[in-house]
Amino acid sequence: MQWLCLCTATRAREGAAAIILGAKTPEDMALMTGIRSGCTVYCAMMSLRLLKGAGIEFVQKPKWRLYDTTQSLWDIPEDVIETYEGYFLEEDKDVFRKF
């Protein structure tokens, strides 16, 4: 029942069905399910995660910016945190640890 595309109210099970029926790319999934016809923010990442889970390797095309993960504060490498100390990333982590 997880959402795949909020704009089109498409569920992850529909994306999984598209993969079972032969979808090999996000474009294939879009044609088969209707996803990526709205904002494309949430469903792009989710469709790549479904493809990855099915063992299908996605190859970025030049100038594309599609990722199969949602980055968070916890994914920032330590050397970047140290380089950009003015952004107070460690302090932000401390705040979020309290929740």
The pLDDT assigned to 86 comes to 93
State whether 10 and 45 are in the same domain: yes
Q: In angstroms, what CA-CA distances link 71 with 3, 52, 74?
A: 19, 17, 8
Q: What is the CATH number of the domain that holds 27?
A: 1.10.10.1100
Q: Which domain holds residue 83?
A: 70-99
Using an 8 Å Cβ cutoff, are 4 and 43 in contact?
Answer: yes
Residues 8 and 45 in one domain: yes
The Cα 51–Cα 36 span in angstroms is 15
Weakest-pLDDT range from 27-31, 51-55, 70-74? 70-74
Question: pLDDT averaged over the chain?
Answer: 91
Residue 70 has pLDDT above 80, yes or no: no
